[in-house]
Amino acid sequence: MESEVSKVGKRGTIVLPAKLRRRFGIEEGSLVVAEEREEGVLIRPAVALPVEVYTPERRAEFLLSNAVDASDYARAAEEVRKMGLDPAKIRHRKPARLR
């Protein structure tokens, strides 16, 4: 492993050597994680994944569609009602035994 010296600039900016940026795919605008370690600071590439925020209707669909039998479906329908929604108005798949 090679090492190169960089200087810390204003506001704590650090210039990563081009060779290391290319090797690890770090480009302008890339996200990195700075982790505190016993021996110093580790800077590594980061990955950000989009998070889907589910609406109450989508959560209700999951609850109802994933029920495996009649009693499970009844529990899911009750949870949906607690959410203030009508299970009959939520598009979903019923368990095979209820169809």
Task: pLDDT band for 92, please (50, 70, 90 cuts).
Answer: very high
pTM: predicted TM-score of the whole model, two decimal places? 0.51
Q: Is the pLDDT of residue 97 over 90?
A: no
Q: What mean pLDDT is predicted for residues 15-42? A: 93
In percent, how much of the chain has pLDDT > 70? 97
Q: Which three-class secondary structure string do you get for 15-82?
A: CCCHHHHHHHCCCCCCCEEEEEECCEEEEEECCCCCCCCCCHHHHHHHHHHCCCCHHHHHHHHHHHHH
